[in-house]
Amino acid sequence: MAKSSIKKAVALGYNQASNQAPKVLATGKGESAAKMISLAKEHGVPIKEDEDLVEILSKLDLGDEIPPNMYKAVAEVFAFIYQMANKK
């Protein structure tokens, strides 16, 4: 199956005090995805590229917590982000 050439992005957030799992905060494709990525870079937010994971997460509704079957994949993303943030 060929991957789409349209860029997609998903922003996740997690608040341990109020969430059981990370939530989808924003999704975008095309221009919206490019703007999300640009803003993340501008504000020093680490970016992890994973087209397959973004494809799955972009199907969730805004505000949805990630499903349990996605915990491991998303935990790897958060581990990457924390590692990148600690390097700065």
Segment 27-61, tens digit of pLDDT: 999 999 999 999 999 998 888 888 999 999 999 99
Most distant CA atoms of the chain, gap in Å: 40
Walk me through the domains of the chain, giving residue ranges and CATH numbers: 8-87 (3.40.1690.10)
Mean pLDDT of the chain: 88
- For residue 13, pLDDT over 60 is answered with yes
Residues 6+ apart with CB under 8 A from 62: 24, 25, 26, 27
User: Tell me, what's the pLDDT at 88?
Assistant: 65
Distance CA 48, CA 85 (A): 12
User: What's the predicted TM-score (pTM) here?
Assistant: 0.80
